Structures are given as C-alpha cells and as structure tokens.
Chains A and B, each alone.
Chain A
Amino acid sequence: MNSRKSGPLPVEELIARCLTGDVRAFETLVKMHQGQVYGYACRMVGPDAAEDITQEVFLRVYRSLHTFRSEAEFKTWLYRITTNVCLDHLRRVRRQGGRLLSLDSAPNGSEESPLGWTIADQAADPGATDPEVRAERRELAQALQQALSRLSDKHRAVLVLHDMYGFRYEEIKDILHCSLGTVKSRLFYARRALREELRPYLDAVGEWPASGASSAS
C-alpha cells in the first residue's frame, strides 16, 4: 500500500481515527462514499427517499464501525447496510400501501430526471449538446428507472450491483447474504425482464456513447 502514502488516507486509517472519536475522519469517510450510497439508494428506492436512506446508512455505519477489519470488507459492508436500509424502507412503504420509486417526483418537463440525469451531466457527455439527443437520453434514462422499478427488490439489487456498480458474483453473495446460485439466477431473470421492458430502446443504443473505457479515459 505504499502507493497511497501521499494520497488520501486509506479507509482502515480513517476508521481507526473515527473509533477514537475523530469526527473529521468520519466526515472524510462520508465524503468518499456518499456518492455510491446515494446513487445505489436512488436506483433501489427512487430519488425521493434516497437522501434519508443515505443519512440512515451513515448513522448505522458510525454506530457499528468497530465491527469490521479491512478496506476490502468495508465496501461490501457499506453496500450491505445500504441494501438492508433500502429493503426495510421498501417493506415499510409497501405495508403502508404507498407508491414506490415514483417517477412523478420529477415532474414532466423538469430538467432533472429521476435517475439524476441532470442537464449538467448531459453537458459533460461528449455529443450530448444536441437538444434532440439530450431529450432522447432523458427519455431512455426515465425508461430505465421505470423498468428497474418494475423488478422485484431482490432482482433489482442484484442487477444494479452487478451491471451498474461492477460487483462480482462472490461480492454480491456477501452483500445480500445469499448463495452464489441465487445471485446467478436473480441476475439472469432480472436481465431478461429488463430487456423486455427496454426492448424498444435497445435497438437505438448503438448510437449511445461508448463506456468511459473507450471514450473519456
């Protein structure tokens, strides 16, 4: 870990400091991970509840920081807590008969889509300056969120963790506390269901800008 010497403190070090009551260290930890937690929560519960979920997750993290050991574990652990808080929330809302993952939270014509696909994000994308392209992508992003919301919570979790956050099967197994076979079968069904939802859009995806690997970096 010599390469980190001059960079930001490794997670282990930050946690050790948090455990001595160093709130600044905790602040750094939150800054480093808030994007991941908030983003994952948006995909799991929709943008309305994602902020509260993120707060709840980090308070739980703070309360139980003493329970884990290494940086590799931390990420899995953080996503496990986030998943649990999201699933608890969804269960509670459903019990109360509420609507989930409401797409109405971004009113029609609003510049911000439920996926957080803001104008700023689009402007940062090469080739997204064309208003027509922008509108198309917003529509696609909304279709995607809507399609995600129609999956069962557990199927959605596996799909989001694997295809959006790049976790491997083994890691997802640990995050969700299930078997490897369950991860594989849920991913299979989730992808098949999502493909059916998105079929009308997928034919046009050839025009989508390539992933970060081939465009930006």
Chain B
Amino acid sequence: MRCSLDLLLAYMDDQLSSPVRDRVRHHLARCPVCRAELAQMRAMRELLATVPAPTPPPGLVETIVGHVRFREAEQVRRRPQVRFWQGCFAGGAVAAAALAMWLVGSSWLERDSGVAAATALEAAVQEHIVYAALLETGAGDWVDWAWAPAGDRP
C-alpha cells in the first residue's frame, strides 16, 4: 500500500472496512511519514474538538424572546383591522340593511321599535368601521363624505 492521506483520515474516523483498516495499520507500522501525518491530524482533530465554545452574550435570550413577544402582540393588534375590500363588502351589507329597514321599517317600526333601534345602532357602528377603513386605505377621494359620521370625515 502506498502512502495515502485519504485513507489515513478515513482510518482516523473509523470509516474503513476491516480488511482495509488492517492494511492501513500494517502500512503505519512500517511508514514513519504516515505515522507523523496521522499524529498531526489527530492532534488537529483533538484541538478542534476541545477548544472551548464561545459563550453567548448575556441578555441574548431576552432579546430574542422580546422580538417574538412583540411580533405576537403586533399580530393581535392587526387582526381586527378592516381591509379595503372587506370594507367595500361591509359597505354593501350596510346599504342592503338600510334598504331592508326602509322597506320593512315603516310597518315594523311601530310594532317593535326596540329591534329596529338596535339594528340601526349596529348599522351605524358598521358604517363607522367602513368609513374608518376607507380613510386608512386612502380611498377617501371616492367617498361622499357628506354621509359619513362627523368624526370619520378626513
């Protein structure tokens, strides 16, 4: 067998089948160059395995967990926001509700004014959300603000 660093390293890592391992061992017994080579490679592996690991800076865990908490809080804050198309959809719903109220209201209003008042209030709240959303998405130019609640106008 000739000198082979490849085989020596495989021998060091215990990656050889036993017949090849025996051949390398046999070669090592008679080749001082390879013995020195193996000793150096072992020393290097030892050095790499034993050099102390760097210690993370104090407060690193807190910083990371802080980021995650912030993200979580952000997500909760963002969840109820009305997006533009959702706003349009809600706007349509409000209009439909208003129309229904106008059609049915005249006869129902006398009989059950409590229910109608509650519905009207809900519609007003919805409407407020819609106007707020329209403002936030920058769609304000297309909106007839005369109909918006005073507080929602730009």
Contact = CB atoms under 8 A, between A and B. Distances in A.
Asked if chains A and B come from one complex, the reply is yes
B47 interface: yes
Interface string A116-128: 1110111011000
Interface residues of A, number: 53
Interface of A: 21, 23, 26-27, 30-31, 34-35, 38-39, 42, 47, 50-51, 54-55, 58-59, 62, 115-118, 120-122, 124-125, 140-141, 144, 159-160, 163-164, 166, 187-188, 191-192, 194-195, 198-199, 202-203, 205-206, 208-212
B46 A205 contact: yes
Contact of A166 (B49, B55, B60): B49
B143 interface: no
Contacts of B61: 27, 30-31, 34
A105 B44 CA distance: 25
A114 B91 CA distance: 62
A118 B55 contact: yes
**B-side interface size class:** 20 to 34
B100 interface: no
B64 interface: yes
A38 B44 CA distance: 22
Contacts, number: 115
A21 B71 CA distance: 11
B127 to A, nearest CB: 34
Given A194-B44, A206-B43, A209-B50, A51 B68 contact: no
Given A51-B60, A115-B54, A163-B49, A59 B44 contact: no
Contacts of B68: 23, 26, 58-59, 62
